[in-house]
Amino acid sequence: MHIVILNWWALALRGVAAILLGLLAFILPGVTLVGLIYLFAAYMLVDGVFAIVAGARAVQHHGRSAGLWLEGVLNILAGIIVVAWPGPALVVFIYVAAFWAILSGLSLLTAAFRVGRDHGEWLLLLAGFLSLAWGIAVALWPIAGLLVWAWWIGAYALVFGIILLGTAFRLRARVQARHAP
């Protein structure tokens, strides 16, 4: 059984974390930019840890894990940079977020081609393209207002999280179907 299928729960946790970030961004749109930066950094750290866990499990089962490791390390590095230097991060946050989203999208696109059509490839492709498009949009319009930023992050995180959660439940159903008597 493919390793991504066995790690459906890690994908589900990543989806839930993204949905929570999205909801917080919409519920608390007046949060200060520093608060938004720390919230986004926390999400990047949590998402990075789960991606690395999925990569480590892939290695244990002789699966391919380079995309997951790369995504996890990049997420954690971006989160650490934002937490370590919040003052300068106010200026570079936009570009760190854009760079992270672009690389994360490319990593997801790579992973999608390894999953296969029967295991939710199109959902991972959608998540990868969404992340890539969001990163490019953020890089092109960096002077957006705080409220717009909160909405962008909220919308991105909600859609991304729903896609990941949907993919996880599809993979879980496949695991259950294979183990059914």
Closest by CA to 131, choosing from 163, 165, 90, 83, is: 163
The overall average pLDDT reported for the chain is: 80
pLDDT digits (tens, 9 = 90+) for 58-99: 777 776 777 888 888 998 998 898 888 876 766 677 787 788
Structural domain spans, the chain: 3-179
Taken as a whole, the chain contains a residue count of: 181
- The top-level CATH class assigned to 3-179 is mainly alpha
How far is Cα of residue 62 from the mean position of the Cα atoms in its chain?
Answer: 24
What is the value of pTM for the model shown?
0.55
Contact 150, 36 (CB under 8 A): yes
- pLDDT for residue 77: 92
Helices and strands counted in the chain (H then E): 7, 0
pLDDT digits (tens, 9 = 90+) for 123-176: 888 888 998 998 888 888 776 655 677 787 888 889 999 998 998 888 888 878
Q: Mention every residue, 6+ apart, whose C-beta is less than 8 A from residue 53.
A: 7, 10, 72
Q: What's residue 19's pLDDT?
A: 93
